[in-house]
């Protein structure tokens, strides 16, 4: 019988290894792209969430609409996003990922996870079978956990760091 502490430690070790590889590859991609992390974050938000208004982006990033507008202007100039009329409000503009922006993010995602294929190549067949048997149940268990409020998480982190 394994203790909660043992299982937690192994999962945390995996998370640390995963994060270091994944984020390291992402940082290299960001530097090579010539864009800032906030610019890439905006492109990722549009990639996964679809088009949205400047005010929505500002709220999500915790910055002013003016700051978002400047960032969007640079991304429009680079051909990575486009502005379109908001169908619900003709006075407002939607920001959408362009084809060029989508290709950039697709390439970044491939770069970020390229190491996973190398990792799988390193595993013997019986361990691949174990991964296929185990990880889906871990993913399902995570989905059953209650969602955490982002403000509560930030407050918790601040309390721990003080």
Q: Which domains does the chain have, with CATH numbers?
A: 4-112 (1.10.10.10), 123-162 (no CATH)
So what's the pLDDT on residue 151? Answer: 54
Can you give the pLDDT of all 162 residues of the chain as single tens digits? 789 999 999 999 999 999 999 888 888 888 899 999 889 999 999 999 999 888 888 888 888 888 888 999 999 999 999 988 777 777 777 899 999 999 999 999 998 888 899 999 999 999 999 999 999 999 999 999 998 875 554 544 455 544
- The CA-based dihedral angle spanning residues 114, 136, 8, 26, taken in that order and rounded to the nearest 10 degrees: 20
Cross-strand pairs, 85: 93
Tokens representing 42 are 């905006």
Run of H or E including 96:
strand 89-97
2 SS3 class: coil
CB 145, CB 139: distance < 8 Å: no
Separation between Cα atoms, residue 129 and residue 146, nearest integer Å: 29
The pTM assigned to this predicted structure is 0.73
So what's the pLDDT on residue 162? Answer: 47
Cross-strand pairs, 82: 96
């Amino acid at each position: 019988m394994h203790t909660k502490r043992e299982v937690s430690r192994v999962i945390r070790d995996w998370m640390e290894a995963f994060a270091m590889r994944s984020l390291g590859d992402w940082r290299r991609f960001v530097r090579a792209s010539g864009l800032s992390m906030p610019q890439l974050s905006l492109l990722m938000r549009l990639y996964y969430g679809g088009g949205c208004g400047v005010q929505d982006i500002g709220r999500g990033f915790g910055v002013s609409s003016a700051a978002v507008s400047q960032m969007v202007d640079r991304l429009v100039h680079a051909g990575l996003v486009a502005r379109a009329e908001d169908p619900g409000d003709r006075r407002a503009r939607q920001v959408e990922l362009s084809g060029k922006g989508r290709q950039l993010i697709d390439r970044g995602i491939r770069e970020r996870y390229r190491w996973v294929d190398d990792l799988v190549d390193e595993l013997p067949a019986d361990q691949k079978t174990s991964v296929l048997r185990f990880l889906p149940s871990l993913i399902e268990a995570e989905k059953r956990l209650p969602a955490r409020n982002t403000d509560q998480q930030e407050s918790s982190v601040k309390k721990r760091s003080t």
